[in-house]
Structure formats: C-alpha cells, structure tokens
Structure 1
C-alpha cells in the first residue's frame, strides 16, 4: 500500500510503498476512505509522544471499510462501514470494565503506538471493543472527524463540561476541535465566545453561531484575553476550553472563568515543552473545576451519531480542505503555524 512515512522525528515524511497490514488476532484492517490531519499528528512527528518508534506512519482519525478481521473477532466482517475512537481500548482492564475506555490502562492508538491511517489501509486492535458502525447515510468525510476531533469536543463540552443552555462557553483556539466545540455548544443552547489569532478561524466560528469572536493576537499584555472574555460575558465564562494546547491558552482559559466555573483541557500540553504555570490562586479563590478530556469511548457514540444523522450537528461543515497522500508531508510540516481554521481531510485514493 501507499503510505506517508517518516524515518526520524522532524524529518520531512515521504510517500512510499510499504507492506499491507495484517489484522491482529482480535483486531481488524480498515480500508481508509478518509482521514483527518490533526495537530496531534504534528506533535507525534516532532517526537513529543514516547510511544512512537520510527520509521512510522502517522494518522489517527479515520473512516473506512473493514477488509479483514482477526480470528477472535465476533461482531464485524468485511464490508462494514466504520470509524473508531483514536483511543483503542483493551476492554479488560479496570478502567474499561468501569466503562471508561477512553482512559484504558492498556490502550493502543493508531498513528502512535502502531502505524496509523495516513495510508490506504490501517490496522487496529480489539475490534469488538473499538469499532463504531456508521449509519448508511453518513459520508466518510463527516465520519472521519468522529474518530478524534469532533467526538473529543463532544465529550469535552457535553460530558466533561456539563454544558447547560444559556451558559457562556469560551473556546480558546478555533482549529478542528475548537470549531467542533463551538458547533456543539451552540447546539446545546450555550452562548459562545470564540478566541483565535486567525481571522479565517474566527469567521468560521461566527458562521457556526459564536456570539462573540475575539482576536487574541490583538489583545496584548498579561491577562488581556481572559479580561476580554470576562468583560463580554459579564463576569466570566461558566465553561472554558483550551482547544489548542499551549501554556498561554491554558492559563487564559482558567482565568476566563467566573466563580465556580469549569475549565476543560483538550489541547495537548506535551511534557517536552515544560509544565505550564497555572493560576492556582484563582482556582482556589473561585473554587474552579479543572478537568482533562481524552477522546470518547466507542460505546458512547450512539448519542453523538443520533445528533449527526438528525442534522443537529454537522461535522462535514468543518472540512475546509481536502488533500491526497502526496500533499500530506508539506501539510504536516505547516501545522505549527496559524491556519484558517477548520479541518484538513486526506483522501488516500
């Protein structure tokens, strides 16, 4: 098969022919019809993830068709249309048995613990635990976003964030996961403040229903972004998300909150970049709640899929660019720079 592969961290990937994957005993092989290019892939390529061992094929959010299954698989067969969470759970550890597969103690992740979906085919483990059946009328471009960014945002806003109608929600960073959070929060009846430094990203957030859009690049000085959010919300957001993952956006998200507000950390903060200095004095004084959010378990997808098939949520609207495998190396290398927002989708064939 053709795949995007890098031989060392930070070296520009190449598109090469590599061996087709075989299904693990309890796993499956998926023909990739669409896969997303995500900032997490950039972090992995840079060497910020300790699980990756080059040579390596990135890619972790995808949709496609089952082509082969392992001997122990019971619920799936070739021809099934599927996606999967980027956290593939074992189904047997204490976290999985409690229903918390997104924090599985023995998790695998395509594109990190093993070769991923920037290829014509991808293998994954424990298919009966991790595969998600796609509705017949859901296209692959929309479904690809459900493996990571859209599902991650859904759980962050709805389950971890416990958003309520009428609340103010601040979203710091309007890339794929941030715009997904904007769409989801608006659909839940919340008022959204979208923050980014790219005008194109803010235009998209506005089109998705954000009540206020703030240009973070124009707000200079310590605490300026947080002060602006508190001002436009009349005292601070009830719920705030760092959807980018930087020391600045993490701190700004926390400081944007009103008393007893809730901060959800979605964007990655790799240890290699150092530990962020958090305003714990504000956390204590305001009795703030700080939570992480790490994907979404496969068993939790039905609620999301019902909203997507009903047209309440429209992940396909967030796809602003579609490229082929040959375009991926340069696109991956550019992900440390501001973008116009939305999702970049890869069609491997």
Structure 2
C-alpha cells in the first residue's frame, strides 16, 4: 500500500510503498477514505511522544470501509462504513469497565503506538469495543475528524466541562479542536469567546457562532492595554447567523514584547468582555501561555479543561495555582471520546444539529500530506485539513 512515512524525527515525511496490513485476531483492516491532519500528528513527527518507533506512519483520526475481518470479529461486514476513536481501548481494565475507554490502562493508538491512517489501509484492534458503524448521513471527511478533534471537544465541553446554557465559554486556540469546541458550546446554548493569533481562524469562529473574539499576536508576553485603551482598540464586527446580523464585541490586537513570561492581557480582557470571567475555559492549543491564560480568565468557581497537548519535551507549564486556590477553580483534563459514546455525537451530526463540515477548509492528497504535516508548527491550516489517501 501507499503510506506517508518518516524515518527520522523532524524530517519531511514522504509517500512510500509499504506492506499492506493483515487483520489481527479480534480486529479489522479499514480502507481509509478520509483522515485528518492534526497537531497531535506533528507532535509525533517532532519526537515528542516516546511511544513512536521509527520508521513510522502518522495519522490517528479516520473513516473508511471495512476491508478485511480478523478471527473472532462479529457484527461487522466487509464494505461497511466505519470509524474509530484514536484510543483503542481494551474493554476489560478498570476504566473501560466504568465506561471510560478513552483512558484505558492498556490503550493502543494509531499514529503513535501503531502505524496510523496516513495510508491506504489502517488496522483497528479490538474491534468489538473500538469499531464504530457510520450512518449514511455522515460523510467520510466529517466522520474522519470526529475521531480526535470533534469527539475530544464534544466530551471536553459537554461531559468534562459540564457546559450549561447561558454560560460564558472561552476557547484558547482556534485550530480544529478549538473550532470544534466553539461549535459544540454554541449548540449547547453557551456564549462563546474565541482567542487566536489568526484572523482567518477567528473569522471561522464567528461563523460558527462565537459572540466575541480576541486576536493576539505571536508573542510570549503581550503588552497590557492602558485603562480605556481596550475601548479605543475595539472594532465593532458582526456575523450573519441564521439570516440575522448578530453583534460581536471587541476584536483586539495585543502587541507583544520578546519577554517570555506569561501574559496577563488576554485574561484581563476576557474578564472585562464576559462581565467577570468565563464559567468554562478550554486550552485547545497546548502551550504554557494558553494554559495559564485559560485558568486566569475564569471567574470564581470556574472550570478549566486542558485539551491541547503539553508534551514534557516542550517543558512543563507554570500553572497559576494561587489563582486556582483563591477562586476555587476546577482544573480538568480531557482525552478523547470512547467508542460507546459515538452514537449521541453521530446523531447530532446526522440531523444537522452539529456541522463539522463547516470547519473543513483544506483537502489534501496523500502526496501533499507529508509536507503539510512538517509545516504545521510554522504554518498550521486555518480550520481543518482532511487527506484523501486514495488520491
């Protein structure tokens, strides 16, 4: 089969011809029709994950059709439309028995512990607890991004973050995970404020229903606006939602300095725009700055959910625990979505309550996938990029 392969960390992956996988006992082989390009794949390429063994095929969110079925697998047939979460659970450990396969004690991950989905075929192990049948109403590219970004955000916002209608939700980082969180929080009736460095990403957040956006420049320490300066810099913008023009408050550019200490400008602005701070805030990027800013932007008794990866290889973030204690905040982590929880999410997508397709901005061939992955650190796509391994 053709697959995207890298043989050294940090190199530009290339398409190679490698052996086609066989279906293991209890598992299946899926012919991949769509797979997402995710920041987590870049972490694997950069060598931030100790489980990645070279040579390696990245890719961990995908959809396709069953190509081959291993011994002991029942309930699925060749040609059936399927997807799977990025954590292959065991189904028998303590967390799995409690319904928390996303934190399985014996988890296996395509694109990390196993070869992944930037290929014509990928293996799904332990199909009984990990393979998910797709309704015909859900297109393959949409189903592909449910496996990591949208599924992860769905659980992070609705289950871990316990969002409630009318609450303010701040989303720090508007890549695929962040935009998914925006769409899900809006669908839940929350008021959403999105933060990013990219005007295009913020434009997408507005189209998905964000009520306010904050634009920051790439800098470790933003300049704190002087009193009254926020109003002077604010721009009145609007977005058409459901045929009506909805006002959106305060698109702000914060100028930075080379000083690498964390910024207090973004949290202060969020406190002002939300009338006291977000009820729920998510770091959907994964950096020391966005982690700290997310926590600092919360009102008392607020909830921070860490979704973006913070690999130890990049340094451990300085979590502002004085703020956590003083405001009695909850600091939570969220890691994927178990396969058994997919039907609820798929039903919302199938009836149009959630529209992940609105976030897909780039479509790539398999030959384009390697260079695009290598460029993610410097030139991440606005929105979501989806790869078709058949092209």
* Counterpart mapping for 1:252-291 below 5 A: 252-291=293-332
Which residue matches 1:316?
357
User: Which residue of 1 is the match for residue 179 of structure 2?
Assistant: 179
Cα distance, 1:283 vs. partner? 0.1
Secondary structure of the corresponding residue to residue 292 of structure 2? helix
1:43 counterpart residue number = 43
| Secondary structure of 1:111 counterpart | coil
Using the alignment, how far apart are the partners of 1:102 and 1:237 within structure 2?
27
The 2-side partners of 1:156 and 1:145 are apart by 15
Q: Would you say the 8 A contact 2:118–2:389 is kept in 1?
A: yes
| Secondary structure at 1:148 match in 2 | helix
Say if 2:364 and 2:387, in contact at 8 Å, map to a contact too.
yes
Helix, strand or coil at the partner of 1:119: coil
Q: Secondary structure at the match of 1:170?
A: strand
- Equivalent residue for 2:122? 122
Q: Is the 8 A contact 1:197 1:338 kept in 2?
A: no
- Within the candidate set 198, 202, 219, 2:254 is matched to 219
**Which secondary structure state, in structure 1, belongs to the residue aligned with residue 389 of structure 2?**
coil
Shift of 1:338: 4.8
CA distance in 2: counterparts of 1:141 and 1:301, whole angstroms: 16
How does the TM-score come out when normalised to structure 1? 0.99
Distance 2:124 2:101 in 1: 15
Asked if the contact 1:67/1:78 (under 8 Å) is kept, the reply is yes
Aligned-pair distance for 1:8? 1.0
Instruction: Select the residue among 279, 286, 289 that pairs with 1:248.
Output: 289
For 1:146-165, what aligned pairs fall within 5 Å after superposition?
Answer: 146-165=146-165
> Contact 2:138–2:346 (CA<8 Å) still a contact in 1?
no
Q: What SS does structure 1 have at the residue aligned with 2:41?
A: helix
Give, in whole Å, the separation in 2 of the partners of 1:55 and 1:293: 29
| CA–CA distance in structure 2, aligned partners of residues 172 and 207 of structure 1 | 17
The aligned counterpart of 2:198 is 198
User: Could you tell which deviates more after superposition, 61-70 or 72-81?
Assistant: 72-81
C-alpha deviation, 1:194, in angstroms = 0.3
CA drift of 1:220 comes to 4.3
Map 1:1-349 → 2, pairs under 5 A: 1-217=1-217, 218-220=253-255, 222-339=263-380, 341-349=382-390
Moved over 4 A (4+): none
**Unmatched 5+ stretches in structure 1:** none
TM-score using structure 2 length: 0.88
1:83, 1:143 within 8 Å by CA — same for their partners in 2? yes
User: 1:89 offset after TM fit, Å?
Assistant: 0.2
Larger Rg: 2
1:334 is displaced (CA, Å) by 1.0
SS at match of 1:263: strand
Give deviations 1:205-242, integer Å, cap 9, x for gaps.
Answer: 01111000100223246300111111100000000000
In 2, the alpha carbon distance for the partners of 1:66 and 1:109 equals: 18
What's the CA shift for 1:114? Answer: 0.7
CA-to-aligned-CA distance 1:235-288 (integer Å, 9 cap, x gap): 000000000000000000000000000000000000111111011000001000
SS across alignment from 1:226: helix
Instruction: Note if contact 1:91-1:101 (Cα within 8 Å) is conserved in structure 2.
Output: yes
Distance 2:62 2:288 in 1: 29
* Corresponding residue pairs, total: 349
Cα deviation, 1:62-113, whole Å, max 9, x if unaligned, reads 0000011110112222111101000110111111111110000000011111
CA distance in 2, matches of 1:93, 1:69: 24
Does structure 1 retain, via aligned residues, the 8 Å contact 2:364–2:385? Answer: yes
Matches of 2:151 and 2:116, distance apart in 1: 18
Provide the secondary structure at the position in 1 that maps to 2:316.
coil
Instruction: Determine if contact 1:76/1:128 at 8 Å carries over to the other structure.
Output: no
Give ranges in structure 2 of 5+ residues lacking alignment: 218-252, 257-262
* Structure 1: distance between partners of 2:75 and 2:284: 34
Root-mean-square deviation (CA, aligned residues, Å) is 0.9
Measured in 1, the distance between the counterparts of 2:83 and 2:124 equals 11
Alpha-carbon separation, structure 2, partners of 1:10 and 1:338? 15
Cα shift readout 1:182-214 (whole Å, capped 9, x = no counterpart): 000001010000000000000000111100010
Contact between 1:129 and 1:298, CA under 8 Å: does it hold in 2?
Answer: yes
- Alignment correspondent of 2:244: none
